[in-house]
Amino acid sequence: MKVEEALYFFRKNKNLKQKDILTYTDTSVYSRIENGKKFLKFSELRDILTRLSVPLAEFSEYLDDDLEQKQFRTLLKKYKSTVHDPHMKKELLDYYHTLTFSEAMTIEHMSNYVVIKTLLSSRWNEISPLKQSELDIIFNLLHVKEYFFQYDYALLSHTIFLFDRSKIDILTKKALPVKNMNLRNTATKEFIKNMINNLITTLLRKREYELSTYYLTLAASQLDSVNDLSYKIVLDYLKNLTQYLYTGEKKYKTNIFESIDYLNKVGEHNLAVSIKTEVESILLNNDTVPIFIQANL
């Protein structure tokens, strides 16, 4: 929906009249907003949503602005649940072919392009891996930023393991600690968690155990308020994996597989499989691309 259509939708479903909304001004003001004939100030939108008792986050879910991204995430999730469905493959390839990588593309489209490349280039002949020239553009784009927003974290989460150590250091210092963590929305926090997962597994593959421990401690302190039991288990698993690789003590390995068993018991089977696959890969020194533990995109 457009903004004005969403306003109408909520007002009608709340059984309110136009005159009931912006009671401190003439009814015609709100009428022109809802009809798309008046520029809507943020202060007015805030007052309207307060009157409607609708949170901004819920209201935004009804808007078209992010429709393409929602469709892409839905498509990717459908593919993950039906990986052998040729129709899903065709849909993803059709979308992929609409994307042309360049410095001028939006960061949302760049993020989608990178997700498809990193996730599917090893599975489908139709998709090639990211080129070094593309990685250079991504690095330069992120390197000049002083503040990372949602799709900056999305882009970094899907490329961090492809950079060399010096570039990882530069970009990680830009991204962490996360500025204004308490203001970040759920989607952004998912990208941040995904980025931290891939950062840690990348460092473990490079045998940077002390640096891995440092970022795990930072992640735990920053994400302490995130009410996500599964992710807290993931952090605990990564801590035990780091300690096992660093010390060789079997108790840490036991803790890892206890975490996997617990995830299976609470129904997080896909996450448990991802962790088990990742653990086996790292312990066998299989230098493959890290598993994306957090599936939200």
262 has a pLDDT exceeding 60: yes
Report residue 295's pLDDT band, with 50, 70 and 90 as the boundaries: very low
CA distances from 138 to 188, 199, 235, 278, 294 (A): 19, 16, 27, 26, 22
| C-alpha dihedral (28, 31, 36, 40), degrees to nearest 10 | 70
Residue 95 confidence (pLDDT) above 90: yes
The residue with greater pLDDT, 179 or 229, is 179
In this predicted structure, what is the pLDDT of residue 187?
81
Over residues 259-274, mean pLDDT? 89
C-alpha 171: how far from its chain's center? 17
* pLDDT number for residue 164: 93
> Is residue 66's pLDDT more than 70?
no
| 130-140: burial string, b at 16+ Cβ within 10 Å, e else | beeebbebbbe
Mean residue pLDDT of the chain comes to 88
Q: Return the pLDDT at 287.
A: 61
pLDDT at 296: 45
| Banded model confidence at residue 185, pLDDT cuts 50, 70, 90 | confident
Place of tokens 């155990």: 209
The span from the CA of 143 to the CA of 172, in Å, is 10
Alpha carbon 265 to its chain's center = 26
Residue 273: exposure state from Cβ atoms within 10 A (0-12, 13-18, ≥19)? middle
What pLDDT shows up at residue 297? Answer: 44
Q: What is the pLDDT of residue 143?
A: 95
- pLDDT value at position 99? 95
Which stretch of 57-66, 191-200, 223-232 has the lowest confidence by average pLDDT?
223-232
How many CB atoms are located within 10 Å of the residue 43 CB?
8
b/e burial code for range 239-265 (CB count within 10 A of at least 16 → b)? bbbbbbbeeeeeebbebbeebbebbee
How many whole angstroms separate alpha carbon 269 and alpha carbon 62?
A: 31
